Amino acid sequence: MSSTPEPTVFERIAAREIPAEIVFESERVIAFRDIAPKAPVHLLVVPRTAEYRDVVELGAGDPALLQEIVATAAELAREHCDGQFRLIFNTGEAAGQTVFHVHAHVLGGTLPEGSLGTE
C-alpha cells in the first residue's frame, strides 16, 4: 500500500488552507510574503508542484519552470524594490533549507553588508 506524502506548507498556502499575503499567482507559480522576513522586502516564489525538493532537482527536471520562477522574482522586485534584489535558493538542511519544496527568496530594500538575508 502506497501512502501519499503530506502536502508541504507551500502546497497548503496555494490551496488556501494556510493564510498568506499572496502577491502573485499564475498557473504554475505562487508568490507571497515571508512570515519571518529577513529584509524590508522578503518574498517567496514557489512552484505549485512539490515535485522538486530543491533548485538542483528543478533545474534538471524542468528548466522552463526555473526560468519562470526567476522571471517572476525579477518582476516582483521591480514592483516592490525598484528592481534591486537578492535571489536565494537554499539547498539542503545545512544550507538553511527547512521546507523541502523548491522556493526562491526575493530579498530587497536596504540589506546589511555581508548579510546572507535568510537563515
Active site residues: 103
CB 13 within 8 A of CB 31: no
Sign of the four-CA dihedral 103, 52, 47, 83: positive
Q: Which residues contact 86 (CB under 8 A, 6 or more apart)?
A: 39, 105, 106, 107, 108, 111, 117
Distance CA 119, CA 94 (A): 10
